[in-house]
């Protein structure tokens, strides 16, 4: 699991490095990359999450931080449980863990240190997003692919329930 923590940390560092460079060198630049499809358009999103942005509601920082910590803990528990049940390491599970946890970690840093997310990738006329959003979506897609993998289906036959796994961890 040490490798997954390192990869997650590197993804978080990459996201934050990109944001620092944009903030210091290009926060006022707007560049059309593919007309009508893709653009570079830095925007400080202070609504703190996608749902709040769509509803144009500002979420309290305290609530967002608690949500992020709970989600991060859930991701770690889910990964450890699935690894315990699984006979071998699966690419989709490991990638899903790293990407999803990196996305939540980036979001935490955005909320606590940036006051919101510095989004910069404009797609069509829909929305502007950043690497954190790419990490989160790719992570969830990887976890869905894990659920359809033969490794997951083989682990379904394992009789270890989440409750019994948690109970045995304290012993």
pLDDT digits (tens, 9 = 90+) for 84-121: 887 677 889 999 999 999 999 999 999 999 888 899 99
Higher pLDDT, 96 or 162: 96
Stretch 138-167: mean pLDDT, rounded?
78
Q: What is the pLDDT of residue 20?
A: 94
Strand order in the sheet with 117-123: 31-34, 38-45, 117-123, 127-129
Q: What is the pLDDT of residue 148?
A: 85
Q: What is the pLDDT of residue 158?
A: 65
Q: What is the pLDDT of residue 52?
A: 61
Q: What is the pLDDT of residue 171?
A: 54
DSSP element (H, E) containing 119: strand 117-123
Task: Report the range of poorest mean pLDDT among 1-5, 6-10, 124-128, 149-153.
Answer: 149-153
Average pLDDT score over the chain: 86
Count the Cβ atoms, other than its own, within 10 Å of residue 124.
Answer: 9
Q: What is the pLDDT of residue 125?
A: 80
pLDDT at 16 > cutoff 70: yes
Stretch 38-57: mean pLDDT, rounded?
75
pLDDT at 161 > cutoff 80: no
- State the pTM of this model: 0.85
Q: Give ∠ CA 108-111-116 in degrees, rounded to 5.
A: 135
In degrees and rounded to multiples of 5, residue 122 shows phi and psi of -95, 130
Query: In 3-state terms, what secondary structure has residue 127?
Result: strand
The count of residues in the chain is 171
Query: In 3-state terms, what secondary structure has residue 32?
Result: strand
Stretch 159-164: mean pLDDT, rounded?
72
Chain Cα centroid distance, residue 71: 10
User: Tokens 């929305």 identify what position?
Assistant: 127
């Amino acid at each position: 699991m040490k490798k997954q923590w390192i990869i997650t940390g590197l993804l978080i560092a990459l996201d934050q490095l990109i944001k620092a460079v944009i903030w210091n060198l290009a926060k006022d630049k707007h560049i059309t990359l593919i007309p009508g499809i893709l653009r570079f358009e830095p925007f400080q999103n202070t609504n703190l999450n996608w749902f709040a942005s769509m509803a144009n509601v500002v979420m309290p920082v305290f609530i967002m931080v608690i949500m992020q910590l709970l989600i991060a803990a859930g991701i770690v528990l889910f990964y450890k449980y699935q690894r315990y049940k699984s006979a071998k390491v699966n690419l989709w599970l490991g990638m899903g863990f790293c990407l999803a946890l990196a996305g939540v970690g980036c979001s935490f840093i955005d909320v606590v240190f940036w006051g919101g997310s510095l989004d910069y990738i404009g797609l069509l006329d829909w929305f502007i997003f950043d690497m954190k959003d790419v990490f989160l979506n790719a992570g969830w897609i990887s976890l869905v692919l894990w659920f359809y993998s033969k490794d997951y289906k083989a682990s379904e036959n394992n009789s270890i329930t989440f409750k019994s796994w948690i109970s045995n961890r304290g012993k």
